[in-house]
Amino acid sequence: MAFIFKDQVEALAGSTTSTEAERWFDDGIKDVIGRLATLKPELMHLFSTEDSSGTGTYKNGNGGSFAVSAGDTVDIVNTARVYNTSSALGVTKYENSTNDFVQVKSGSTVLAKLQPYEKIRLEESSAGTLAFASNSFTDATCDTTDTSTTVTHDANAKIVVGLSVSGTGIPSGAKVASIVSTTSFTLSAAATATNANETLTFNNNVAVNVIAGASGESIGIQDSHRVLMVRRGNKTATEIQASDRFYASDATSLRRATEEFPVYYVKDGQLSSIPAPDSASRLYASTVKYGAVQNWSSDPSSISSFPKEFYRMPVLFTACKVLEERMVGYQGLPPNLSLPSVPILAVPTLPNVPTLASVPVAPIVNLSLVSTLTTVVMPDDVSLPVFTPVPDPSINDLNLSSVTPPDAPSPPVFSIEDAELQEAYTTQTLTLGGTAPVYTPPVMTPPDWSDANEWVADSVKGEDPEMVQARMNVINGQIQEFSTNLQASLNKFNEENTKYQADNQSDTSEFQQNTQGLIQKMSVSTNVDLQNKAQELQKQVQEYANKMQRYQAELSKYQADLNELVVLWTSNEMQVKFAKWQLEFQQELGVYQAKVASIIQEYQADISKKSSLTQGEVASFSAELQKESTKISSDINKYQAEVGAYSAEVQSELNLYSTETQSLLSVYTQETQSKLNAYGQEVQALVQDFTTQMQKAQAEYQWMQAQLQYCMGEYEKSFASYQPQQKGE
């Protein structure tokens, strides 16, 4: 099956590749080797060549014949695939086994048993041909499913892990990843087609390296990725720093290198050994090099020192780079949308505006008789007298200091020697009903007496009797409101005092009853002393009862005195003084109003005298005024007629001008609309084409994004089987 690197990359990237693709392919080879070197270093021999200090060449193969000379070195590597090879060189034979290891025999003697990825190196003693018969086999019962890694087949014990697999629908480089059963296995890459009873080819797993050439001083390793192993003859050399080479060459140094224990160092891209190589013990360096690409764009494409099973990896790497380049410098977008210029028609030339006739001149109106009218001289402004305000009444504050509430008597304290009676008595306590109420009169807001005076004497507000009366009513209302509040506060005090006396009377009666019961209990005692105590207690209780009666009487007197003071203050300070002020104010107001009336009567008489005209003068003036008025009316009527004719002429000229203008504008509008419609259709077609190209570009870009993700995923998946396994897996 043809495998051309360029075609494979273009198939994945969806476009032809640039010259950069070949460089990216080389980068892909380096990336694959670098990552495998980290994940599975033991695979590096698959990419290695052993150079000698001579001019020999390195060969790598999976089968076929290899010419060897005496002194050549032959490497045999177990690449974990089934094989069956034989050697025509001497008695050395390479056979397969039932397991995944390789047996190397000389006759019937097993020289070595190589585990997967293990290598043996042999020195050939004579010239000859080393032949490897490929033991590839086929199975014609394989069933594959597109995008699936599972393959089913008839029972076949020869199919084992590691075999390379090829055939229709099988990706290049695929191998047997795992054995499910004797009739099923999984591929390392998903199939690309669905087939039944497909013939698949399974390849062997032997790699042969033939190293030939003469001895030399050093080996150039400038193009090597890493050095795997160095030997001088058949002795493995140990690496040292280039700066330590002098110690290794010094015969007196403890670090001196010998033929049995040679060393090597790298300096300026050259690998050298100590002791220096000779014809009997040549210098060999097994290095990993980045393989060169042959036939990039033709069949068959190949990579030197690079197994075919890994070819797909750099192909995927290069496809990712090509897709990234296409996406970064994407050229599939349509050019910027360029719309045609909007058609603009020349504005038509409108007809000249008509020249209108001169506007008629309005007549001049002149009322000459008005200036001859006799001017009437009016008397001087009247001067009214000044109102003398009545002094505000002085109302004293309500003083209640002459009456004070009486003090409540303290409850009695009795001493009884009998412990039981004393304890019983002390539990009966007298609690009077709170604190005696104290009367607090309301605060009166002083009436605004001056406001009433202003409505009489002020130059702006003055001389308004109705407002004066209204202000008097307001003041009277304020006084009435305070009187009402004063009486309400007095009533509240009387109620609280009455309740206080009743509560005290009830508490006192209850206390007397309780105390009387104790006295009775003491009186019936046979103890004479207790009887005497009972009489003493009876006396003290009676004295306290008398004090309480006296306190009740004092409270009643306090209440009566307080009410009397409030009533007297209300009568003397509020009612009497306000009534006196109101009477004086009304008297003063009456005198003032009489003076004002007299002055106004004299003023009115003076006006009547000075403004009189004779009836004849008025009639003559009226006749002359009527004559001039008639002439003015005639002039105005004539002017109105001239204005009417002028308006008709102007209207006619304007109608004709408007008709011509509308006709020109109508034609202009139709032509403009027609061109705009055509312009709109052209723009719509351009936009539609631009949108189609944008959608196509978007779809192409989205495909590239998806394809890049696919290629990146496949590239990462190709390394999955080489990942180090976790414990327990």
Contact 212, 57 (CB under 8 A): yes
Task: Provide the residue type at 488 as one letter.
Answer: A
| Confidence grade of residue 713 (pLDDT, cut at 50, 70, 90) | very high
90: number of CA atoms within 13 Å, CB side?
A: 15
Confidence at residue 95, expressed as pLDDT on a 0 to 100 scale:
43
Q: Closest by alpha carbon to 552, among 500, 604, 601?
A: 500
* Mean pLDDT computed over 700-711: 93
Which residue reads 């944008």 in tokens?
A: 694
Chain centroid to CA 138 = 64
The DSSP bridge partners found for residue 264 are 239, 273
Backbone angles phi, psi at 94, to 5 degrees: -120, 120
The one-character DSSP state at 427 is T
Confidence at residue 567, expressed as pLDDT on a 0 to 100 scale:
80
Average pLDDT value over all residues in the chain:
77
Confidence at residue 256, expressed as pLDDT on a 0 to 100 scale:
94
Mean pLDDT lowest among 302-311, 552-561, 668-677: 552-561
Which residue reads 């394809």 in tokens?
A: 707
- Rounded to an integer, what distance in angstroms lies between the CA atom of residue 14 and that of residue 2? 19
- Rounded to an integer, what distance in angstroms lies between the CA atom of residue 421 and that of residue 28? 119
H runs (alpha helix) in 222-269: 245-249
Contact 200, 139 (CB under 8 A): yes
Q: Higher-confidence residue: 90 or 37?
A: 37
- Rounded to an integer, what distance in angstroms lies between the CA atom of residue 297 and that of residue 315? 13
Mean pLDDT lowest among 91-100, 160-169, 460-469: 91-100
* Mean pLDDT computed over 134-146: 86
User: Residues of the chain with pLDDT > 70: what percent?
Assistant: 72
Confidence at residue 318, expressed as pLDDT on a 0 to 100 scale:
93
| Helix, strand, coil percentages for the chain (3-state, nearest 5) | 45, 15, 35
pLDDT tens track for 50-104? 777 654 443 444 445 666 666 566 666 665 443 333 333 333 334 444 445 556 6
- Rounded to an integer, what distance in angstroms lies between the CA atom of residue 282 and that of residue 52? 7
| Confidence grade of residue 380 (pLDDT, cut at 50, 70, 90) | low
| Confidence grade of residue 236 (pLDDT, cut at 50, 70, 90) | very high
* Mean pLDDT computed over 692-713: 92
- Rounded to an integer, what distance in angstroms lies between the CA atom of residue 644 and that of residue 646? 5
Chain centroid to CA 407 = 77
Q: Closest by alpha carbon to 306, among 55, 724, 3, 714?
A: 3
569: number of CA atoms within 13 Å, CB side?
A: 18
493: number of CA atoms within 13 Å, CB side?
A: 22
The DSSP bridge partners found for residue 211 are 58, 73
Confidence at residue 281, expressed as pLDDT on a 0 to 100 scale:
82
Residues 6+ positions from 114 with CB-CB distance below 8 Å: 76, 77, 78, 101, 102, 103, 104, 120
Tokens read off for 301: 């494409």
pLDDT tens track for 385-433? 766 776 767 777 777 777 777 777 776 666 666 666 665 555 556 666 5
Confidence at residue 574, expressed as pLDDT on a 0 to 100 scale:
66
Helix (H, G, I), strand (E, B) or coil at 538: helix
Taking 60 as the threshold, does the pLDDT of residue 205 lie above it? no
| Confidence grade of residue 553 (pLDDT, cut at 50, 70, 90) | confident
pLDDT tens track for 102-121? 566 555 666 677 666 566 66
Q: What is the CA radius of gyration of the chain?
A: 68
Q: What is the DSSP string of 154-183?
A: S--TT--TT-EEESTT--TT-BEEEEEETT
Q: Higher-confidence residue: 444 or 57?
A: 444
| Confidence grade of residue 378 (pLDDT, cut at 50, 70, 90) | low
| Confidence grade of residue 252 (pLDDT, cut at 50, 70, 90) | very high
pLDDT tens track for 168-201? 999 987 888 889 999 999 998 999 999 999 999 8
- Strand ranges (DSSP E) for 411-543? none
Contact 518, 385 (CB under 8 A): no
Q: What is the DSSP string of 177-221?
A: EEEEETTEEEESS--SS-EEEEEEEEE-EEEEEEE-----SEEE-
Contact 14, 703 (CB under 8 A): yes
pLDDT tens track for 559-585? 788 788 778 877 777 677 777 777 777
- Rounded to an integer, what distance in angstroms lies between the CA atom of residue 75 and that of residue 121? 4
Contact 198, 168 (CB under 8 A): yes
- Rounded to an integer, what distance in angstroms lies between the CA atom of residue 401 and that of residue 309? 125
- Rounded to an integer, what distance in angstroms lies between the CA atom of residue 36 and that of residue 558? 119
Backbone angles phi, psi at 64, to 5 degrees: 95, -165
Mean pLDDT lowest among 376-390, 497-511, 574-588, 693-707: 376-390
CA angle (466, 468, 473) in 5-degree steps: 95
User: How far, in Å, are 7, 17, 293, 700, 711 from residue 14 at the CA level?
Assistant: 10, 9, 22, 10, 12
Taking 90 as the threshold, does the pLDDT of residue 716 lie above it? yes
| Total Cβ atoms within 10 A of residue 510 | 13
Is beta strand 283-289 parallel, antiparallel or unpaired with respect to 195-203? Answer: unpaired
Residues 6+ positions from 651 with CB-CB distance below 8 Å: none
Task: Provide the residue type at 611 as one letter.
Answer: S
Taking 50 as the threshold, does the pLDDT of residue 219 lie above it? yes
The one-character DSSP state at 573 is I
| Total Cβ atoms within 10 A of residue 708 | 20
